[in-house]
Chain A
Amino acid sequence: MTTPLRIVVVEQNHDRAQEITGALREGGWADVTVIADDASLTRTLAATDPDLVLIDLTNPRRDSLETLSEVSGARQRPVAMFVDQSAPELSAAAVNAGVSAYVVGGLSGDRIRPVLETAFARFRMMSQMQSELDAAKRALAERKTIDRAKGLLIQAKGLAEEEAYQLLRKTAMDQGRRLIDVAQALVTASELLR
């Protein structure tokens, strides 16, 4: 971890909260806020804007976090859950499946650190995959627009496909605009004229 993480722990029980905070400090995470799971939870969370939320797997308030991550949209924050020792296989299964993290109980610093680090690495990877996916989708949409613009030129001016493409490219260069912008303008204009 190179950047300091802002972590929020949702825990009503004072002793348990202390234990978790202590374990996080030991693990090198100092920016930890503990909040209770009462009615103010969502508002406090929105105000704190944490990078990571730790909440007990059995806490029904978990559902409130779902809306929160929906509201924050692209800046999805990972939610880590801690569970008690009775379900260690669950945390492994969850982390493998790509849930942000399930931290097993008995939160000693040396145990919590690798789990959280794995979770974060996975979260970053998923975010990157998502942005790559978005980029790929955008590229595909741009290709379609350019193809339509080419088609319009082929129809209107009787050009060959390659000539249509060259014309688009030349126009873009002459006007100092992006190829996709020129193509989009042409498609929009043709729709208006139809």
Chain B
Amino acid sequence: MSRYKVNCGFVPLVDSAPLVIARELEFAANEGLDLELLKQPSWSALRDLLALGHLEAAHILSPLPIAMTLGLGGFQCDVDALMVLSVNGNVIAAGNALVARMRAQGWHPDLTDAEAAARALEAVAPKPLRFGVPFPMSMHRELVEYWLKGRDIALELCSVPPPMMAEALTSGEVDAFCVGEPWGSRAVDAEAGELILTGRSIWAFSPEKVLAARRDWVAENGAAAAALMRAVYQAGRWLHEPSNRMIATDILARSEYLGLPADVIERAMTGHLLAQARSLGTAVPGFLHFHTGAATFPWRSQARWIGERLARRYGLPVEQTAEIARGVFRSDLYRNILGPTGIDLPGASEKQEGALVHPTAVASSRGGLILQPDRFFDGEVFDPAGE
């Protein structure tokens, strides 16, 4: 018997798994939730439907709720990120010709060395270097710009819908792209290009998708929002088990979700990527997190990192904008709702981003929390206290 009905939008990507699993394995139903998942053709469509109230919740790019609250793109709407749905999970691919030129520079593809890949790219990049990302307000864009900052590269970003990335590479619309799986692997299989790096090599623990809802809906439907958060948390914990990930792969492959062969979805799920077509594959530890190291906790410091970058890009007052961004990531709500279920909550809601090189035990409510490495490839540390 369901007490609440929630329409939740998603874009067909591997990292929609926590919502799909919450529905399919009845974590949602057990919370009294009738969770309807509605596939969306584009991020702008998802954003507008969320803002207009046709969707109550959404699987959304982590910078987008902040951008919506700031009124950047589309129309202004206060949107909360209730929790993080997934950490990492992006790949960077370059077209065959560009990869060949990088190789000629002595670069060897290893999917991990962001510094070496950037250097090789700098030496051979066409001017401009056209880089495909799914959306202007996305972690993909942040990662690419962070990775290539200060390089002698005329970066030109283009938004390309993920399913069209392979075609964009073949047609020359873009020279390279950063996208969520399985769309990078699809491009590899189509022999449009090769994977050269994963997002985690740029930032080892970046919030990728978040669970978002309008602030007024959350205020008026506290019980439904809480049920949704509990269901998604349980789905993430279930997805943490490697054996469960195979089941999740088969479910995601169905036509109502990704509608793609399981073997291409499996790569992201197991962290075993094929960088080139017909290659043996490379294991990428920590490629995609749904649970480990408080992955679902919406750190205010992550929000601030995003907010400061948006402020500088769009010419907004930095301090004020960062403060609004912090308020979007509802670590307060996360504590209130998931704390009583007995989970291990971090002692703080902010941390230095990029300071952890190794898995590190931190203060937590039950004393067993180990955070995963979160370093940036250049060793910079982002201090949310400023300076």
A: residues with CB less than 8 A from B are 38-40, 42-43, 57-67, 69-70, 90, 93-94, 97-99
Contact = CB atoms under 8 A, between A and B. Distances in A.
Interface string B124-145: 0000000000111000000000
A63 B44 contact: yes
B167 interface: yes
Interface in B147-173: 157-161, 163-164, 167-168, 171-173
Contact of B160 (A40, A59, A64, A98): A64
B168 A39 contact: yes
A188 to B, nearest CB: 21
Nearest to B73: A66
A169 B136 CA distance: 46
A60 B164 contact: yes
B74 interface: yes
Interface residues of B, number: 28
Nearest to B162: A60
A67 B51 contact: no
B376 interface: no
B48 A99 contact: yes
Contact of B44 (A62, A90, A97): A62
A63 B135 contact: yes
Contacts of B45: 57-58, 62
Interface of B: 41-45, 48, 51-54, 73-75, 134-136, 157-161, 163-164, 167-168, 171-173
Interface of A (DSSP majority class):
helix
A64 B42 CA distance: 10
B178 to A, nearest CB: 14
A60 B42 contact: yes
Nearest to B135: A63
A93 B135 contact: no
A38 B164 CA distance: 9
Given A60-B161, A60-B164, A66 B135 contact: yes
A151 B100 CA distance: 63
Contacts of B173: 39-40, 42-43
Nearest to B48: A99
Nearest to B54: A90
Contacts of A93: 52-54
A58 B54 CA distance: 15
Contacts of A38: 171
B157 to A, nearest CB: 7
A90 B49 CA distance: 9
Contact of B136 (A60, A62, A66, A99): A66
A69 B158 CA distance: 11
Nearest to A42: B158
A66 B161 CA distance: 11
Nearest to B160: A64
A63 B42 contact: yes
B40 to A, nearest CB: 9
Contact of A63 (B51, B52, B159): B159
